[in-house]
């Protein structure tokens, strides 16, 4: 009997080899396509300037998506979050939600994405900006599933005696196991199971505390991946794709890291990483990090993409799969980015445009409702080098609101009130990323320009010593300037986000950029440098022990930005109003008191310490005529040519064309203005 069985096997094997080599699976080419950080930029449109901007927008990315899919029908299209917030369009839809907008139709971003037939989406941190109820209503309009594995129902999250998480309490679907029929290189139909795992930064609990506290708990991304990747494998996943809303940080692992891609790449069983959050490009923007291969597009050997921001790039990972012992395995990979066509006359996906046109038009009408008049322009062209009217207006509005809170007894002590604001549009996202409001009518459109995030106002209690360290952290915005050099030196540390350049109004101080930065952008003390000098309150040197109320936004108050001494523990008031509402009310009150208009000029409570003659310090600003007209004697426009070796990298970052670059440069000579006492509006 045994011999007969053996003979039968031999005969069957011989027959198979002779008659049909196709019975053996061929190679499968599987394409993963990714968008991320769209931030409701469905159209390439600058709502603040009320004009088209061809450098971004899903309506252009859509053309790349359709082309990428046509090239390889074996594909999956995924989005990595930060989708429903970020433009006035998003704010308008939120405003309309109370009138039942979302019960009648999908959010504009999902009108577009449903048309493009996405396979799955992951939640970013900004999905939580408007609260969980609103998020639920928005996601109901998506005709594709969403995943997130590390957000848990607060009441269901617990650890056992060994510290192991009870993984049964997920707030959202933690992962998907998508089975797809594909065609191999022999023309045969095959089935491949792809696991999709979604992750978001744990810091959402800080950044959106008012919406999330007591409702959800967020686990570490790496810990979560280490649990779920083996589970996906056990359930039959041939390929595991981790879609993580996180950036790349090569520092050693720390629990609850915000940017954990480096360590996610080392989780056993991960076949591909799709990243976001950092508004960077990968491959491309991390050339000097170890274990990065920009040619193959791998991080620690794992194919990885991060497709910029606002739809300016499309991420693609091409996988070559071969079957080994009945299981598909990645044998080859290539990750790459495709940039949208931003040239004059470039095409858009008209179907996407048509789907959101009515919402777009309604948003513009809503934005143009006038709130009052201003008698001088508001701008942020030079917000990183001198006190700035756009920051000043926000600061004044916040302090006025906090003073009313104090009068109403909601701030119990009689501490002096300081106000913190930062230039959100200080050039971080390119040469058009500046605020400019011309003299005349000021509208809601302009408020959205002045304050682009749906933050709420919060108040923290600190002492004078913390105020000093707060400013030292903020001064990390600048590179150290060597007064012994005569060659060009660049002022701004471009790795330091401009939204973390806090100006504290209500005190006076100067910034000495010849001293080393005291803190890194991660909030780590890196030197004993003292960049902040001449710090005074009411004309007197700052008393380190004096108590203050500092009014800021929920992001900063809860620890966003890693400022020393600001970690959420010293919050004394959490306001229900968005900062933009407070700014709008302030503008209305100023207009009522000044029917002919008012000037939001900066009070010059801070300045750069003067540099010796002959020191050439430069910074990027707008190439526009408005910036040139406002530059004055201290800021002089000069050319910078494309062959300048120190700025070549900016082309890779998509900053500008050569023609724009030639007109772009502003040089700061740092002649300090007359010092004035801080104004208490």
Query: Which tens digit of pLDDT belongs to each residue from 503-541?
Result: 999 999 999 999 999 999 999 999 999 999 999 999 999
Q: How confident is the model at residue 22 (pLDDT cuts 50, 70, 90)?
A: low
Structure tokens at 479: 């590179």
How far is residue 623's CA from residue 181's CA, in Å, rounded to a whole number?
52
Using a pLDDT cut of 70, give the percent of the chain over it: 89
Q: What is the pLDDT of residue 636?
A: 53
Q: How many whole angstroms separate alpha carbon 680 and alpha carbon 539?
A: 13
pLDDT in tens, 382-428: 888 888 899 999 999 999 999 999 998 889 999 999 999 999 887 77
Q: Is the pLDDT of residue 1 over 80?
A: no
> What share of the chain has pLDDT > 90, as a percent?
68
Q: How far apart are CA 398 and CA 421, in angstroms?
A: 9
What contacts 467, CB < 8 A, 6 or more positions away?
418, 504, 507, 535, 542, 548, 550
Which burial class, exposed, middle or buried, applies to 252 when counting CB atoms under 10 A from its CB (0-12, 13-18, 19+)?
exposed
What is the pLDDT at residue 633?
Answer: 52
Six-digit token pair at 297?
Answer: 């597009």
Kindly list the distances between the CA atom of residue 55 and the CA atoms of 77, 132, 360, in Å, as whole numbers in the listed order: 22, 32, 18
Closest to 277 measured CA to CA, from 303, 305, 296, 317: 305
77 within 8 A of 130, measured Cβ to Cβ: no
pLDDT at 6: 33
Task: Quick: pLDDT tens for 191-240.
Answer: 999 999 999 999 999 888 889 999 999 999 999 999 999 999 999 999 99
Is the pLDDT score of 628 beyond 90?
Answer: no
pLDDT of residue 5: 37
In sequence order, the 6+-apart residues with CB closer than 8 A to the CB of 484 are none
Of the pLDDT bands very low, low, confident and very high (cuts 50, 70, 90), residue 56 is very high
CA distances from 453 to 131, 195, 335, 398, 450 (A): 14, 33, 32, 15, 9
Average the pLDDT over 592-601 and give the result. 90
Q: What pLDDT score does 139 carry?
A: 98
- The pair of structure tokens assigned to 580 is 């933009």
Looking only at the bridges linking them, the beta strands covering 292-293 and 75-79 are unpaired
Average pLDDT, the chain: 88
What pLDDT, on a 0 to 100 scale, did the predictor assign at position 375? 92
Q: How far apart are CA 494 and CA 251, in angstroms?
A: 19
- Evaluate if residue 591 carries a pLDDT over 70: yes
Instruction: For 552-587, give the DSSP string.
Output: EEHHHHTTTT--TT-SSTTEEEEEEEEHHHHHHHHH
Cα distance between residue 110 and residue 572, in whole Å = 38
Continuous H helices in 451-577: 464-474, 554-557
Q: What is the Rg, in whole angstroms, of the alpha carbon atoms belonging to the chain?
A: 27
- Name the residue with higher pLDDT: 616 or 111: 111
Tokens of 454: 């749906």
Q: Tell me, what's the pLDDT at 255?
A: 94
Helix residue ranges, H only, 441-536:
444-450, 464-474
Instruction: Render the burial of 446-473: b for 16+ CB within 10 Å, e for the rest.
Output: bbbbbbbbbbbbbbbbbbbebbbbbbbb
Mean per-residue pLDDT, 94-106: 93
Residue 380 reports pLDDT greater than 80: yes
Residue 648 pLDDT exceeds 70: no
pLDDT at 677: 31
pLDDT per residue as tens digits for the range 538-567: 999 999 999 999 999 999 999 999 999 999
Q: What's the rounded mean pLDDT across residues 643-664?
A: 34
Element (H, E) at 636: strand 635-638
| Token pair of 199 as six digits | 């992750």
pLDDT average, residue stretch 437-465: 90
Mean pLDDT of the region 427-450: 84
Does the pLDDT at position 35 exceed 80?
yes
Q: Which residues contact 345 (CB under 8 A, 6 or more apart)?
A: none
How distant, in Å, are the alpha carbons of 80, 200, 250, 429, 518 from that of 523?
27, 21, 16, 22, 9
């Amino acid at each position: 009997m045994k011999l007969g069985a053996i003979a039968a096997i031999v005969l069957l094997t011989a027959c198979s080899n002779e008659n049909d080599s196709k019975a053996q699976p061929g190679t499968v080419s599987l394409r993963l396509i990714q968008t991320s950080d769209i931030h409701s930029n469905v159209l390439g449109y600058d709502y603040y300037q009320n004009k088209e901007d061809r450098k971004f927008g899903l309506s252009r990315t859509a053309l790349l998506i359709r082309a990428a899919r046509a090239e390889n029908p074996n594909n999956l299209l995924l989005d990595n979050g930060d989708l429903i917030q970020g433009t006035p369009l998003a704010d308008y839809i939120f405003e309309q939600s109370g009138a039942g907008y979302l019960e009648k139709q999908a959010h504009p971003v999902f009108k577009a994405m449903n048309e493009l037939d996405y396979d799955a989406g992951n939640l970013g941190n900004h999905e939580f900006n408007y609260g969980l109820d609103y998020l639920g209503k928005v996601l109901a309009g998506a005709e594709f599933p969403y995943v997130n594995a590390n957000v848990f129902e607060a009441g269901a999250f617990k650890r056992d005696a060994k510290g192991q998480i009870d993984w049964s309490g997920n707030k959202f679907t933690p992962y998907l196991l998508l089975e797809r029929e594909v065609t191999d290189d022999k023309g045969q139909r095959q089935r491949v199971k792809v696991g999709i795992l979604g992750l978001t930064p744990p810091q959402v609990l800080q950044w959106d505390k008012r919406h999330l506290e007591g409702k959800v708990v967020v686990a570490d991304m790496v810990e979560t991946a280490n649990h779920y990747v083996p589970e996906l494998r056990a359930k039959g996943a041939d390929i595991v794709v981790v879609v993580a809303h996180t950036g790349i940080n090569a520092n050693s692992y720390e629990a609850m890291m915000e940017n954990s891609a480096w360590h996610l790449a080392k989780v056993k069983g991960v076949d591909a990483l799709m990243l976001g959050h950092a508004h960077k490009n990968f491959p491309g923007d991390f050339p000097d990090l170890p274990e990065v291969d920009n040619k193959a597009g791998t991080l620690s050997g794992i194919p990885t993409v991060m497709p910029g921001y606002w739809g300016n790039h499309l991420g693609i990972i091409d996988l070559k799969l071969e079957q080994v012992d009945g299981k598909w395995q990645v044998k080859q990979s290539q990750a790459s980015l495709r940039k949208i066509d931003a040239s004059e006359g470039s095409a858009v996906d008209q179907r996407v445009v048509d789907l959101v046109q009515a919402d777009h038009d309604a948003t513009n009408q809503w934005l143009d409702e006038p709130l009052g008049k201003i008698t001088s322009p508001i701008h942020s062209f030079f917000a990183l080098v001198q006190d700035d009217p756009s920051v000043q207006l926000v600061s004044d509005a916040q302090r006025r609101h906090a003073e009313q809170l104090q009068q109403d007894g909601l701030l119990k002590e009689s501490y002096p009130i300081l106000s913190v604001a930062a230039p959100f549009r200080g050039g971080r996202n390119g040469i058009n990323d500046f605020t400019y409001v011309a003299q005349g009518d000021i509208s809601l459109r302009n408020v959205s320009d002045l304050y682009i995030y749906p933050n709420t106002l919060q108040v923290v209690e600190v002492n004078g010593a913390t105020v000093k360290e707060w400013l030292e952290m903020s001064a990390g915005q600048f590179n150290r300037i060597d007064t012994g050099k005569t060659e060009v030196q660049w002022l701004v540390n471009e790795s330091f986000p401009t939204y973390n350049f806090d100006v504290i109004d209500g005190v006076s101080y100067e910034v000495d950029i010849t001293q080393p930065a005291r803190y890194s952008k991660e909030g780590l003390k890196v030197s004993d440098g003292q960049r902040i000098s001449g710090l005074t309150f009411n004309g007197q040197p700052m008393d380190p022990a004096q108590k203050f109320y500092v009014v800021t936004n929920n992001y900063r108050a809860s620890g966003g930005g890693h400022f020393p001494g600001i970690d959420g523990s010293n919050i004394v008031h959490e306001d229900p109003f968005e900062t933009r509402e407070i700014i709008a009310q302030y503008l209305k009150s100023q207009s009522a008191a000044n029917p002919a208009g008012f000037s939001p000029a900066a009070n010059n409570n801070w300045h750069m310490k003067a540099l010796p003659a002959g020191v050439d310090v430069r910074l990027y600003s707008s190439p526009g005529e408005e910036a040139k007209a406002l530059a004055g004697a201290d800021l002089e426009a000069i050319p910078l040519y494309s062959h300048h070796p120190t700025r070549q990298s900016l082309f890779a970052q998509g900053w500008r064309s050569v023609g724009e670059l030639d007109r772009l440069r502003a040089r700061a000579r740092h002649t300090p203005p007359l010092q004035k006492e801080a104004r208490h509006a």
